[in-house]
């Protein structure tokens, strides 16, 4: 069994950094990861609405639609919204990440270990939620 992790950024380089940090399995106790890359807000919304995404990693600095706004919208509008990790440009933006209701926050420059740990934690949380609801 694998879990689907959505990675959103308008920057292909940022998506690649996130993908490499997560790897095939961000921790030994979580399933393998299937990455779904998105470069636009409509694609993110479509995937989140599908219910097939387990965790999302959104680029807070993406243009024109930043990950913070998308996160807040998803938390308000998506039924059973998956946990979201927000990658922010500066540590000072943490308050904005809290406003967006992100479940985890990683600041740039991106520490691959911190990002992998954050995603693994969200994957565990999603698994527990799914088990509890069945």
Lowest mean pLDDT among 15-19, 50-54, 88-92: 88-92
C-alpha distances (whole Å) from 5 to each of 52, 53, 91, 94 are 9, 6, 24, 22
pLDDT at 44: 97
Number of domains making up the chain: 1
| Percent of the residues in the chain that have a pLDDT greater than 90, as a whole number | 83
Average pLDDT across the chain, whole number: 93
The CATH number for 13's domain is: 3.40.50.2300
The DSSP result for 65-120, as a single string, is S-HHHHHHHHHHHSTTPPPEEEEESSGGGHHHHHHTT-SEEEESSP-HHHHHHHHH
Residue 62 has pLDDT above 70, yes or no: yes
Domain of residue 111 covers: 2-133
């Amino acid at each position: 069994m694998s879990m689907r992790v959505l990675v959103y950024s308008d920057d292909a380089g940022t998506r690649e950094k996130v993908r490499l940090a997560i790897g095939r399995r961000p921790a030994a106790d979580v399933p393998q990861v299937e990455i779904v890359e998105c470069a636009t807000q409509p694609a993110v919304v479509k995937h989140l609405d599908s219910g097939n995404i387990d965790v999302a990693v959104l680029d807070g600095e993406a243009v024109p639609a930043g990950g913070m706004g998308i996160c807040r919208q998803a938390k308000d509008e998506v039924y059973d919204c998956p946990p979201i990790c927000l990658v922010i440009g500066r540590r000072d933006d943490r308050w904005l990440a809290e406003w967006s209701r992100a479940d985890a926050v990683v600041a740039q420059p991106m520490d691959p270990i911190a990002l992998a740990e954050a995603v693994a934690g969200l994957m565990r949380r999603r698994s527990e939620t799914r088990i509890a609801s069945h």
